């Protein structure tokens, strides 16, 4: 009998994953990963509640239960990375880094060392022979967050929910009377529950107000003297992303959209024009490329996804080098942001991707 260590987060998805694996005949061990436990002013970290729910599921399903503490590694590998990226004016995705460094590296190795043959999580994705494929439920598919997982890790991984929809998962949980059946999904930053990214960053980064300028972004080579006007004041350029509309203190009138920011001068640039050239691009440049297995083949039909649950975009042309790539899109895409991930698909297969520059 193969031994599977399931990452129990205290949510319904991992709970149903554990139930399904036990039903399939595996010896299942439930493991709660303690990644973050710090409270923030006005926000209580929900880790202990999640831990208790994970433990309740283990008791209900009669599973051996463990807790692995990765908090020190998590702070260094995920949280510090995210803060550093924001300081540089980029927009990182901590969930992707968490999967790469914690769940499918540290957690996997710890489980294998402890006696596991395989690990499993509640992600909506499919895996076969070390290859990653999209989930049945396109509305819940999480392969965007998994593109940096290694092929070797995927050969040791099970995704029990890959062939199910979220309503089907909820139904299984309710039919089996699992204690997490009606638990709501956590929102916000992956490791601090209901805390928004701005509230979180404010605890770790010193910011100061600066101008919001309607006009040209010097990054395009325009003459700063041609700035049209200062239309407001922001509370820290670090908090703003390309294409952002809400949260801009510009008063009434037409809505403004962020077109760029200068971290050195603490300036945010905006426009009222949705067709502003700084908001749109048809060419994406990537660094820090990761291929799960094979690289894309010449003339292969490819699609790229720029955000979780965003539509797949047709790749018209691509160029690869050692650790860089460029993709020419069939149509212009709005608000492509430095630091975000671009994930490449060939049909349902996830080939890999990289970081936008």
Query: What phi and psi, each to the nearest 5 degrees, are found at residue 314?
Result: -70, 130
Helix (H) or strand (E) holding 259, with range, is strand 257-262
Question: How far is 232 from 229, CA to CA, in rounded Å?
Answer: 9
Pairing verdict, β 126-128 and 131-133 = antiparallel
The answer to whether 98 is a known catalytic residue is yes
Q: In what order do the strands lie in the sheet with 229-234?
A: 229-234, 210-214, 267-271, 257-262
Q: Which residue has the tokens 């299942």?
A: 28
The tokens of 54 are what?
């994970």
The answer to whether 128 is a known catalytic residue is no
The tokens of 299 are what?
């003339």
Decide: 354 and 342 in contact? Cβ < 8 Å.
yes
Q: Which residue has the tokens 């399903």?
A: 61
Residue 157: Cβ within 10 Å count: 22
Residue 234: Cβ within 10 Å count: 24
Q: Is 21 exposed, middle or buried (0-12, 13-18, 19+ CB in 10 A)?
A: buried
Question: How far is 28 from 356, CA to CA, in rounded Å?
Answer: 39
Beta bridge partners of 3: 27
Question: How far is 209 from 45, CA to CA, in rounded Å?
Answer: 28
Nearest to 319 by CA among 281, 282, 284, 357: 284
Cite the active site residues. Answer: 98, 190
């Amino acid at each position: 009998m193969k031994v599977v260590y399931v990452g129990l987060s205290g949510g319904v998805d991992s709970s149903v994953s554990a139930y399904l694996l036990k039903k399939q005949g595996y010896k299942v061990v439930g493991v709660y990963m303690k990644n973050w436990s710090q409270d923030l002013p006005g926000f209580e970290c929900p880790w202990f509640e999640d831990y208790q729910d994970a433990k309740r599921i283990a008791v209900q399903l009669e599973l051996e239960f463990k807790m692995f503490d990765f908090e020190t590694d998590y702070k260094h590998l995920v949280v510090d990375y995210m803060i550093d990226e924001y300081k540089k004016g980029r927009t990182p995705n901590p969930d992707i880094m968490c999967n790469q460094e914690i769940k499918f590296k540290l957690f996997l190795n710890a489980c294998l060392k402890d006696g596991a043959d395989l690990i499993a999580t509640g992600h909506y994705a499919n895996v076969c022979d070390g290859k990653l494929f999209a989930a049945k439920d396109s509305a819940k598919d999480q392969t965007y967050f998994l593109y940096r997982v290694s092929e070797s890790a995927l050969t040791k991984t099970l995704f029990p929910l890959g062939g199910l929809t979220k309503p089907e998962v909820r139904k299984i949980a309710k039919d089996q009377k699992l204690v997490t059946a009606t638990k709501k999904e956590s929102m916000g930053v992956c490791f601090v529950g209901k805390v928004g990214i701005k509230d979180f960053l404010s605890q770790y980064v010193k910011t100061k107000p600066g101008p919001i300028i309607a006009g040209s972004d010097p990054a395009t080579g325009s003459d700063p003297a041609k700035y049209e006007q200062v239309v407001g004041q922001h509370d820290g350029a670090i908090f703003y992303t390309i294409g952002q509309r809400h949260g801009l203190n510009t008063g009434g009138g037409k809505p403004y959209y962020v077109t760029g920011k200068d971290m050195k001068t603490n300036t945010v640039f905006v426009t009222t024009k949705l067709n502003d050239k700084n908001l749109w691009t048809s060419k994406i440049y990537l660094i820090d490329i990761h291929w799960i297995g094979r690289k894309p083949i010449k003339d292969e039909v490819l699609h790229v996804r720029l955000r979780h649950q965003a539509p797949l975009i047709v790749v018209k042309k691509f160029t690869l080098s050692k650790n860089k790539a460029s993709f020419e899109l069939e149509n212009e895409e709005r608000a492509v942001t430095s630091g975000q991930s671009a994930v490449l698909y060939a049909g349902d297969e996830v080939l890999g991707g990289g970081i936008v520059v």
